[in-house]
Amino acid sequence: MLKKILVAAVLSFCTVLFCADFTTVEKGFLTVLMISPPEMDSLPRRVSPEAFEAIRLQKLADSLNLKLKINFVNNLSELLPALREGKGDIAASMLTITPERDKIYNFSTPFYYSNELLITNSENKSFKDIKSLEGKSVAVAYYSSQFNTALQLRKKFKKLNIVQASADATVSDLIEAVGAGVYEYAIVDEIYLENYKAYADDVKSVYQFNEKQKIAWALNRNNEGLLKKVNEFIAQHHTFNNIPTDKRTWSEIKKLGYLRVLVRNNPYTYYLYKGQIKGFEYELVSLFAKKNGLVPFFVVVPEWEYLIPWFNDGKADMIASTMTHDQVRDAIKGIEFCRPYGKFTEQIIGRKSEPVKNLAGLAGRTICVRMSSSYWNTAKKIQDTGIKVNLLAVPENMETFEILDMVASGNYDLTICDSNIADVEIENTDKIQPFFNVGEAKSYGWIVRDGEQEFMKAVDSFFTGLQKSSDFNVIYARYFSRNRYVDDVKDDETNWHPALERFGPLIKKYSGKYGFHWLLVVSQILQESRFDHSVRSSVGGIGLMQLLPDTAKDLGVNPYEPEGNIHGGTKYLSQLRDKKFFDDANAMNKLCFALASYNGGLGHILDARKLASSIGRDPNIWVGNVEYAVRLLSQEKYAKKARYGYCRSDEIIWYVRNIMTKYFAYVQEERFKKPDAPLPEDLKGEKKDK
């Protein structure tokens, strides 16, 4: 996600005014060297320092009448050498000024100051003071400024062991390793710990080093003219000294070029799917930001009740979380709803076995909803009519789909739900149903600050234009007017057996190349597309194996051609299977992990393996273990502590089960015809030797 934000800042090539009082590596461009974000980004829950830095770099380029061009390097050890070799004008990526670096490079005026912290696992009770490090190990990021801090510590504590994390490990990886007990201690910048603690609480800071670290941009010694311009720019942008938490006007938002938006991590607002951010509100906000020349940053609140307080504290510029516009919220000071969108009614939902015909039938029953929701206000109005219905406040961290699950299981009696959400959620169960509508039709609305008329005009103009086109209906249908899960794939042999005459040779070619049984790839294609290469999914999947365009580009294949699609899909599945994370699993479980990652994204499966370990399940076994943990990741109490957030659990579990069932059946059919044919390794399920 971060890489997409950075790349989005690079403008298209064209002729521009060039300033003559400094030189650049490429005329007309400000070329910035940055560390390429890792293969997987965690779900962004706050405005990351790197993303904020990217916005400032774009503004710097604009101020110089240059186009911004970002050249990525693999890691920190390559960053400054690339600058010295003339591959860029500026080296960025939140660089700390150290005495060693300062001797070789020019550094700009610091634009950020950060404390270095000593961190350890939250359960560690042994640390008393800094002397506790004697005889211990402390980890630092590869080639980082924290290595110097660790060296200074070792002058005091001779038995201190310094461990450098691998070159491809991010600071978040390092912090996570401390939480998992891989390292006992580590030294990190506080800005990275703050971002990590937005979703995890398994690490704590136990010591703050005295001297604040100066974060700046590096330039070569021979570019004094550019250095002067950079320092002038930093001096003029005072808000750059810290990632802001303030109440900004629309003109200030436009001037600074970014928009902070409060959201929830749920299947309708903002979530991670196959490594890409999805969500109804996410898509709408992204279009709005693009129309207004802004970069959106999404801030995830831990619970629903925090949305308005965080907004009023200045932690965001807008709320976009499918919030119902009602009279109670209208009366809240400091906020104002913009133009409404998305019509729906609220419905009483309960078990089919215990129906309610009308309002009078609610007497003696219990409605279970969040107190911060509009549903609570609706339930209170029902009580005000004199009907003796009970009202139960459920935990604020529960999402609506979780409450519906609790009703279906019999743990809750009744609930209230928006009709559009109910249409999607209860399609997958035969235990609950809507009984009747409550009140008049309602709408969602974005929230801005009271009195921000220019902001409201911009939002109103956006929705007016969007709803005149087909774009709004397309986005709305993607999340509310269809099943969230893929339709069941029926094994109609009259459809797919003839397709093998056309695609069979390609399947056998590439399954053999990447070490799969060809019937595994047949099973996966059946699940993805039913051998219909014209299929295009709502999330962007293309063709037989539903390759995403970005994935196909990374793999170097053309997904629009059947051969490129089969080649790319099989290659990608092999890359997932062969990840080092799965080295301790046997062939069958590696395949299950790979299929689950193909469908839902590798990050969610890594979260599930970590969760499985923490609850006493085996992280190297899919069925009943990691599969069980995947299911938990659709629940708020687990998702909010997961690096990759909410997970579309049922779809992933269903996907793996269906493919593996088909695969086993087809192999058995083949072996019936050829009894001597061996069972593929990835169907044996034998334990791996340690």
The residue among 211, 233, 258 that closes a domain is: 211
Of the chain, the end-to-end C-alpha distance in Å amounts to: 36
Q: State yes or no: pLDDT of 439 exceeds 50.
A: yes
Scan for tokens 């634009």, then name that residue.
111
Query: Same structural domain for residues 403 and 281?
Result: no
Nearest-10 crossing angle of helices 280-291, 453-468: 110
Query: Same structural domain for residues 385 and 319?
Result: no
The model's confidence at residue 201, banded by pLDDT at 50, 70 and 90, is confident
Query: Same structural domain for residues 507 and 621?
Result: yes
Query: Same structural domain for residues 529 and 637?
Result: yes
Catalytic site residue 528? Answer: yes
Q: What is the total count of domains within the chain?
A: 5
Helix/strand/coil percent split, the chain, to 5: 45, 20, 35
Least confident of 19-28, 244-253, 319-328: 19-28
In this structure, what token pair is assigned to residue 548?
């995403």
Query: Same structural domain for residues 627 and 549?
Result: yes
- Separation CA 645–CA 78 (nearest Å): 31
Higher pLDDT, 537 or 656: 656
Q: State yes or no: pLDDT of 18 exceeds 50.
A: no
- Separation CA 649–CA 629 (nearest Å): 9
Q: How far is residue 58 from each of residues 62, 68, 91, 233, measured CA to CA in Å?
A: 6, 6, 14, 12
Q: Please compute the mean of the pLDDT values over residues 639-652 and round it to a whole number.
A: 87
Model confidence pLDDT, tens digit, residues 92-109? 998 999 999 999 999 999
3-state secondary structure of 395: coil
- Separation CA 60–CA 56 (nearest Å): 6
Q: What is the pLDDT of residue 381?
A: 92
The model's confidence at residue 138, banded by pLDDT at 50, 70 and 90, is very high
Model confidence pLDDT, tens digit, residues 261-295? 999 988 889 988 877 788 899 999 999 999 999 98
Among 529, 517, 566, 562, which Cα is nearest to 665's?
A: 517
Q: Identify the CATH number of the domain in which residue 541 sits.
A: 1.10.530.10
DSSP 110: P
The answer to whether residue 527 is domain-embedded is yes
3-state secondary structure of 161: strand
The answer to whether residue 633 is domain-embedded is yes
Q: State yes or no: pLDDT of 562 exceeds 80.
A: yes
Average pLDDT, whole number, for the chain? 86
Query: Same structural domain for residues 297 and 423?
Result: no
The answer to whether residue 396 is domain-embedded is yes
The answer to whether residue 151 is domain-embedded is yes
Q: What is the pTM of this model?
A: 0.76
Among 517, 489, 495, 508, which Cα is nearest to 567's?
A: 508
**Residue 636 belongs to what domain range?**
493-683
Q: How far is residue 208 from each of residues 110, 213, 424, 640, measured CA to CA in Å?
A: 20, 12, 49, 27
Query: Same structural domain for residues 92 and 126?
Result: no
The answer to whether residue 690 is domain-embedded is no
Query: Same structural domain for residues 62 and 30?
Result: yes
Query: Same structural domain for residues 656 and 616?
Result: yes
Q: How far is residue 55 from each of residues 64, 95, 645, measured CA to CA in Å?
A: 15, 16, 25
Q: What is the pLDDT of residue 522?
A: 94
Q: Identify the CATH number of the domain in which residue 261 sits.
A: 3.40.190.10
Between β-strands 271-273 and 112-114, what pairing exists: parallel, antiparallel or unpaired?
A: unpaired
Q: What is the pLDDT of residue 484?
A: 38
Q: State yes or no: pLDDT of 239 exceeds 60.
A: no
The model's confidence at residue 496, banded by pLDDT at 50, 70 and 90, is low
The answer to whether residue 417 is domain-embedded is yes
Query: Same structural domain for residues 413 and 479?
Result: no
Among 137, 145, 140, which Cα is nearest to 211's?
A: 145
Model confidence pLDDT, tens digit, residues 139-167? 999 888 899 899 999 999 989 999 999 88
The answer to whether residue 689 is domain-embedded is no
DSSP 534: T
Q: Among the options 399, 528, 627, 636, which is catalytic?
A: 528
The answer to whether residue 50 is domain-embedded is yes
In percent, the amount of the chain with pLDDT more than 70 equals 92
Query: Same structural domain for residues 181 and 234?
Result: no
Q: State yes or no: pLDDT of 45 exceeds 90.
A: no
3-state secondary structure of 260: strand
Q: What is the pLDDT of residue 14?
A: 34
Model confidence pLDDT, tens digit, residues 326-383? 888 888 889 999 988 888 899 999 999 999 999 999 999 999 999 988 899 899 999 9
The model's confidence at residue 243, banded by pLDDT at 50, 70 and 90, is low
Q: Specify which residues 114 forms β-bridges with.
A: 213
Query: Same structural domain for residues 67 and 166?
Result: no
Q: What is the pLDDT of residue 10?
A: 40
